[in-house]
Amino acid sequence: MFIIDTITHRLKRGCETMAYPQGPAPVLPDRHGGALKVDATQCAAGCTACVPVCPTQAITRLAGKPVALDLGRCIFCAACVEICPSKAITQTGDYRMAVRRREDLVLGAPGKEQVRLAVALDKKLRRLFGRSLRLRQVSAGGCAACEADTNVLGTIGWDLGRFGIQFVASPRHADGLLITGPVTKNMELALQKTYAAVAAPKIVIAVGACAIAGGPFVGHAQVNNGANTIVPVDLFVPGCPPHPVTILHGLLALLGRLQNENRAAR
């Protein structure tokens, strides 16, 4: 009887896994805001109101230059959005933020108002990893927020395994690393050894503001201001923490699993 009740319950519940990417992506919560957009042409001459309110020094404006916002450092507190008198910095609500190059996260220059989204690995690497990717997750001094949103991808609602992507316990079983945290000094050697234990070719993914640039701890003597100061990084996923759909989108883009999506930021 117990087995029959269990089967009946499962049939009533139906499929719990979201349809994305074949169907619509989950809607970001109102407090999230999504990716930022910077229209430097709207900045008033000499205005630097947004610079001092940024807790991670992600915003700069040199004399005679347009405002620049480093989305890799940004913790998405929206203080700059609230204080900007000309609304040059706005929230887009777009969950897509992952990039291949660190410099693509710096917004504000002409033609760089929004994030230039990640492109896929080359054809050879896609043949190797496109259908089966094993990642070793390394928490290099993180607060567990990025780690928690990464773990969400393994739940029934997201089912990361349906894309052939799985997290493994040993770097020797992995195709690459997914790194969170600012890489504290006491994790530096551990990260180097873990990276060395992964067989080549391998990929590295930095998830969250800490892993990209140090996050709230940027400049602290006991952190390395991000993973790319220690190991080469192939994908940067900004956020504090990034929403699970942002992480998933970055992974699928890297593997070339989003061919039908318009990669131009909207």
Q: What's phi and psi for 147, nearest 5 deg?
A: -60, -40
What's the alpha-carbon Rg for the chain, to the nearest Å?
20
pLDDT of res. 32: 87
Number of domains present in the structure of the chain? 1
What does the pLDDT read at residue 26? Answer: 84
Distance CA 54, CA 83 (A): 10
Predicted pLDDT at 261: 57
Query: Helices 244-254 & 145-152, crossing angle to 10 degrees?
Result: 70
Q: Would residue 82 count as lying in a domain?
A: no
Token representation of residue 90 = 């706005």
Identify the pLDDT of residue 8. Answer: 73
Q: Looking at residue 259, what is its pLDDT?
A: 65
CA distances from residue 100 to 16, 104, 177, 233, 236 in whole angstroms, order as listed: 32, 8, 15, 8, 6
| Residue 77 is assigned to a structural domain of this protein | no
Structural domain of 200? 123-254
- Residue 164 domain-assigned? yes
The pTM of this model reads 0.91
Asked if residue 241 belongs to a domain, the reply is yes
Distances from the Cα of 217 to the Cα of 55, 142, 168, angstroms: 10, 10, 28
Residue 237 inside a domain? The answer is yes
Does residue 147 fall inside a structural domain? Answer: yes
Does residue 111 form part of some domain?
Answer: no
Q: What is the CATH number of the domain that holds 216?
A: 3.40.50.12280
Q: What is the pLDDT along the chain (266 residues), one digit of tens a residue?
A: 667 777 776 677 677 788 899 888 888 988 888 999 999 888 888 899 999 999 999 999 988 788 999 999 999 999 999 999 999 999 999 999 999 999 999 999 888 999 999 999 999 999 999 889 999 999 999 999 999 999 999 999 999 999 999 999 999 999 999 999 999 999 999 999 999 999 999 999 999 999 999 999 998 999 999 999 999 999 999 999 999 999 999 999 999 998 655 443 33
Is the residue at 243 inside a domain? yes
